[in-house]
Structures are given as structure tokens and as C-alpha cells.
Structure 1
Amino acid sequence: KALAAAFISNCAFAKRNLMVEDLQKYGVKVDSYGNCMHNKDEVSDKPRDIRKLELLSEYKFSLAFENSETDDYITEKFFLTLASGSVPVYIGAPNVKFFAPDAGPYPYTSKSVIYAGDFGFDAQRLAKYLLYLDKNDTAYAEYLQWKVDGYSGDFKALNELTSTHTACRVCVFAADRVRLSKGLSKVSDAPLHVYQFGKGKTVFVRERGSYRFIQIQLNENVDQKQLLQHLIECILLTVKRKTFNQWKNNEHPNYNRIGPAVYAIYHVPSKHVIHSNDAVLNMPNLIELEFISV
């Protein structure tokens, strides 16, 4: 039996094709069911996703290679592998660990996915590691431990993003693009409320899914080791947060990431995460921020 399975039908992305070939060259046997490097036929007439789930469940690893290496572009190749019980060996979005079921705090750790980038996309190094895991049941089992422990608080909070309807998120995104393309600032948006906690930096804040900003002036006398906490406290004091609880048995994400009740704070145009006291210290005045609550 092959150690890994692959479903690659778009052969235009040469990097992933070469990786499959090189892994085999270094001793990792691959059953390839797609059009590219095809060496194995499917024998089931079930719906496509069910066929893939059943097939992947028979392999220790799945080569979940996307056709693009763009942040946030993660397809069923990754999630079907997780659902099947196989371990994804991944090429694609560099921030894939952010979406993993055991996702840890920034800069995002995970032991449920093997990201080829962690091996410098060196097929020989990657193959050596996969062969090691194949012979070491204890080390391999660590990649399935999330099934025992359950989803991490970060993963649950990430899923709560969908609590804001897709149509609303698309409208906010489009409105932001129009506003920025016309050179309109948050000031011209006339924030609904202005809150002053001192004479420090002025920030414009909104919750994910909202368009209008609230203006907050931070306290300039806060200790540098407390800047992030101060920003979070100001947000929680001024914004009426939405409350969602989509988890069965009334389970809510056990969150303790950057502060109570706040999952993440982003710079709106760039989506850069504000995750530390230094990040708050170095924020420019009049910055636009978006936060996600849990």
C-alpha cells in the first residue's frame, strides 16, 4: 500500500507536480488518482467527495497541494484530508496553520498539518520526515491528537466569523474598496461615537461585519507592557459586542489569546494582526482597526 494519496487534476502548477515526483524518488510511494502523474484508478461510483473521503481514509498521508500559494486560499484538499483521518502534507496558503483544528496563538502553531514550507520545500527532507513518521507510531499519532482533544479555542473562534452573514461581509468589503479608492478616510465617515480615555493616539474601531467606525482616543500614560490590554479594554468599553454561541451543549470557545473576549484585532486595509504591545506602540495615529469578539 502506498504511504500517501494525491488528487491533482490541474497540471499547470509545476511546483506540486515536481514535489510528487521527488517524494517518490526519495522513497515515499504515492497513489495518484488525478489527471497529473496518474497511476491509480478509482473504483467507486459514489459522489466525488464521498469517494475521496473513503479513499483518503486508507492512507497515512494525503498530498494536499493547492494550485496557488496565496494566504487564506485553502480548499477542500486540506479539510477533506482532516475529515478523512489522514494527515495533510500541504503546499498552498502560507498561513494554513491559522485554519487548522488545533490552531494555536499567533504566529499560529499546529500539529495537525505538515506544511512543506517548514522543510524549505525540500523534497528529500520532507520525504525523510514522512518515512520517519511511518515507522514511529507515537510521533505519527501526535498529528491525530486533535481528534482526541477537540477543536482549539482559536479554531472555534475562527468559525464564529461566519456568524456575520456572507452578504454583509461582502457589502462591507465592497464599501471599503470604494471608500479607499476615492481617498475617503474614516474621519469623513463621521464615526457614530467618540470616546476619549486620554490624549494619546486616536484609533478608529469596528467589529467584524460592521461598516461604521467608533473613534477612540487612547490614554498616553499607559505602561508599554499594558498597551495591548489597554486597547482591548477600550474596545470592550465602547463597542456593543454581538454575542453568538453556535457550539453544541452551550459550549463556547475557551479563549485566552490576546485578551478577554477579543479573538483578534486587524489593521483594516492590510489585515495585519495587532497582536503585541510593540504592535500597539508602533501603530500610526488615526489607524483603522477591526476586531473579532468571542
Structure 2
Amino acid sequence: MTTVADVIRSAAKTLREAGIDTPEHDAKLLLAEVAGRELRDVDKAMLLGEQWALDDAAQIRLQAMIARRAKREPLQYIVGHAPFRYLDLAVGPGVFIPRPETETVVQAGLDWITQQRLYAPRVVDLCAGSGAIGLSVVTEVRGAEVWAVELSPEAYAWTERNREAVSQRDPSAGYNYHLEQGDATSPLTLPQLNGTIDMVITNPPYVPLAQIPEQPEVRDHDPDMALYGGSADGALIPEQIIMRAASLLRSGGALVMEHDISQGDRLVAFARAQEFAQARTENDWTGRPRFLFAVRA
């Protein structure tokens, strides 16, 4: 019988030849998914030279998943879910895959809520995507009420699926999470909330049209609507989000918005011109300027 290490070596060779940056890691995750195990179980099995008995159906499924990954389909689409902070979110074609750097955006928002001693914060998540940001807020801040907006019907369906999963585990959080399909930049979206929101937190489309991503996983699979910022420099939609946030926020409310590393200075200046008394760019975990933090005058 083939050892787990042999399976991983063979799969990693296929993925490496396809240009995958992390072939061994991806192979381990795919095997863990098929076998219903954890990643640490695969590592332990490889170390101890263990053999796992996979039935024919499991072996066929594993080979099919490896073939899909070799064609540069995102790993998260293949396994059907993606981790984000304390959540495991359902994802697939039509929805943007949540990134680790966006976790720093959420953390900045939660830190501000704590510093302000807000016990029942009113939060809006514009461009909700999979629901990663808003669902993190509503599950991690007890008493928070979140309104989330998503325009894409495909992404909206994934958000609703994740909202339902959260509701089953945490009915109170599910009750306090309100999902609306609409244009996050439009003044006609959530107009009843204007001037009442404590925090707008968002990861809008911001990739410059002049900088098409090189990675096939991003370029060919992430939805264009979730990627591109509507102009050559990618700042058009983020600027529209700043304007919408200025209307939604109460005086003293905060905007936390992810952006491209090239857009920091421009968006800080734009925010200051849109009734934000304070505005600055903060770094992600890699030390790159990643998000705008601005406080409404």
C-alpha cells in the first residue's frame, strides 16, 4: 500500500510542474479534504510513514482535485471553503476568495470599537463578497448590528449561504446581520441609515485596470466585479465608497477600507476632502500600506 508521503510526493510533483507556488502544501490540503482529516494529521502520517486506506471513490476524487489545481483553479474553490479569522466560509465560482491581509482590516475595526467602548456598534460592510468582514464583526463583537451590501447575484448567494451557516451556530449573530443586494456606491442603498452608523468597514474592488494580475488563480477565477477598481489606477470605486461612507457615518464614526498599496496617499487626500477630519493609511502584516482609516468630522 502506498504511504501518505508517497501520495504527497506524487501530487506535489504534478502541481510543481504546473507552476504552483506551494505544491506540497496544496497537495496536503487536498488529501486532508478527501480523507476527512486535518492538515496536522497529514504531516504526522508523513513523519511516521503511515499508510491511509482510501477507497476507489476517494482516490478518484483526489486525482480529480489535483488535476483541477494543476489547471490553476483556486484551491479554495476546489475544496469549497476558505478560512477567515474564526470562520470557515463557503466559497466557489462567482465570489471573491477572502485573503489573509483582509483580516488586518477587520482587526483594525474591532480595535477601534473596543477603544471607543461601543457595546452595540452599528456597522456597515460595503461590497460584502463572501460575507467575511461583516460576519466576522457580528460574531466577534457581541451586540453588534451589521448591514452588508453586495451587488453581484452570484456573490450574494454565497453571502446568504454563509449567513445561514452562522445563524445555525449563533442565532443571535444571524439575527443581527442584515444582507441587502444593491450598489454599495449608490446613495439609494441603505438611505435610512444615513448619519447613524458607527463604522463602515469594506474591501471594495481596487485593482488598477492597468495592472492585470499575473496569477491565473486571480486573473481567471476571481470575479472581475470584485477585483477591478473601475479606472486605470483602480481608485474610482474606492473613492465612491468613501463618499457613500461619509453619508452613512455619524460624526466621529470610522471608515476602515482596504486598498491597493499604490493608492494610500491619494485616498487619504480624498477622504480629507470628504468631511473626514482624520485620515491615514495603515500597514498589513507584511508591512505594506493596505488600508485607509478615517474618522468622520
Question: Normalising to structure 2: TM-score of the pair?
Answer: 0.30
When normalised by structure 1's length, the TM-score is: 0.30
Larger helix proportion, structure 1 or 2? 2
Structure showing greater radius of gyration is: 1
